[in-house]
Amino acid sequence: MIFLVLVASVLIAAVTIYQYEEQTKEYNIQRFGRKETNTKKSIELALKTNTAVLATSGNLATIFRERIYEIAAIHTLNITMYSLEGTLLKTSVATGFQQVSQPSLLPETLQELATNTTHKIFKTRTNKGVEHQTSYTYITDTKSKRIGILELQFFQDNSEQEKELKEFMYRLGFVYVFMFLTAIVLAYILSSYITRSIKTISDKLQHTQLHKRNEKISLLSASSEIKTLVAAYNSMIDELQESAVKLAKSEREQAWREMAKQVAHEIKNPLTPMRLSVQSFERKFDPVDPKAKEKLAEYSQTLIQQIDVMNSIATAFSDFAKMPTQKREELELVSVVKLALDIFDETYITYLPKVSEIYVHLDKTQLIRVVTNLVKNATQAVEDQEEKQIAVSVFLKESAICIEVSDNGKGIKDELKSLVFEPKFTTKSSGMGLGLPMIKNIIEAYDGTISFVSIAGEGTVFTVILPKI
């Protein structure tokens, strides 16, 4: 809007100046034409009233010896008379003229005047900023016979017109400045009105998420286009809410299906050897066999082992399914970590706390579960190493508590690193792959994080970071 007003102002000013100059030129030409007509009438009248001297080319200077000055003064222009051959006969020089008549006409002027259909020449010249209008016509006697050439020269004083133009442009400029300032104010108001609505929509769009309830946009005043956009957004929010509900339901159903498949798979593993053991016992058992008690004990031991496996499976799924509750109690973390390590008999496990005491508000049981799971994974990772090393350390890092468990085991391959915390993922021949996902849930419930750095063939370092509360 501001740009258009500015461009329009410049164009209107340019057109106004151009039009004013053209009108001034046209007015000057018409003005000179009127003076020329009246002057020629005065000369014709002087020739008609002259009875003393015959009206010929040679007598023009005599006839208009004094009369030429009177006519020039009445019509405020310069009059010069030439013979038909272009020789100067008589001239009058009025006050204010800067260009005097030529002593004789140029041949080009004589030729142009003779060949012109109207037998009239009109020229406009500007000399040192002063504009002169000059015309050449024939002087005729009472019988329309050519007896000389008349040159009329008029000095155009346009100072008054220029003054009027300046005043007009000043007033027009004042209007343009007012319009420009008004345009700035209107543009600011309109842009603020439009962008305020768009900013509201933009903020809502930035905070729109699939897994949370999104608020609709409510605008008290807005343009029809903005209202249409808001209506489309609100409709999208309704559809998004419905999609989120359907997606959550689908994810829950999918999770239950995956869990059911995993439970069924894990339970079938011990059921197969149990079935085979029962069938073998039924087929081969002899009550009178002197080793019957030993065989019965061996059979019972096999069943008990498989039952223990099924019990561990059920316990693992139960622990994973239960979301850890944020039970907080004040405890001394360094001693609790040491207590968790006391259940391990491996001599290659070393505990290196870098602080003597750290008091935190955490769940003691869950903290022990985190440490024991990490150390247990580390012991399984170093099984094939000749010189096994596992180091557990506790230290402070800025405003956080860090628990670090490192080993020199086989490490984790790069293509498997993104799957470490996924349920059911495991690199061991036994186990359900629920240990790390479970402790990740525990740590995140306390606003903590767990990460690892691993190099295949060299070892792995797991780092747990908990906020110091």
CA 416, CA 420: separation in Å to the nearest integer? Answer: 7
- Over residues 159-210, the pLDDT tens digits come to 777 888 888 888 888 888 888 888 888 888 887 777 776 777 777 776 666 5
- Over residues 18-46, the pLDDT tens digits come to 988 888 888 888 888 888 899 989 988 88
Q: At what angle do helices 292-321 and 435-445 cross, to 10 degrees?
A: 30
- Over residues 377-391, the pLDDT tens digits come to 899 889 888 889 999
| Burial readout 425-445 (b: 16 or more C-beta within 10 A, e: otherwise) | ebeeeeebbbbbbbbbbbbee
Q: Which tokens go with 236? A: 């999208």
- Over residues 291-317, the pLDDT tens digits come to 777 777 777 777 776 777 677 667 666
Helices (H), 106-223: 107-115, 159-206
* Candidates 3.90.120.10, 3.40.109.10, 3.30.565.10, 3.30.1330.200; CATH matching 329-467: 3.30.565.10
Sheet holding 146-156, edge to edge: 88-91, 78-82, 146-156, 130-140, 120-127
Which bin fits 447, alpha (ψ -120 to 50), beta or left (φ > 0)? left
Q: Which of 12-16, 171-175, 249-253, 441-445 has the least mean pLDDT?
A: 249-253
How many Cα atoms within 13 Å fall on the side-chain side of residue 83?
Answer: 11
8 Å CB contact between 216 and 234 = yes
8 Å CB contact between 361 and 330 = yes
- Over residues 230-284, the pLDDT tens digits come to 777 778 777 777 777 777 677 767 766 766 666 666 666 667 666 766 777 777 7
Q: Hey, what CATH topology would domain 2-164 get?
A: Beta-Lactamase (3.30.450)
How many angstroms separate the Cα of 47 from the Cα of each of 21, 53, 82, 83, 168? Answer: 39, 9, 16, 16, 47
8 Å CB contact between 361 and 328 = yes
| Residue 443 binned pLDDT confidence (cut-offs 50, 70, 90) | confident
How many Cα atoms within 13 Å fall on the side-chain side of residue 46?
Answer: 21
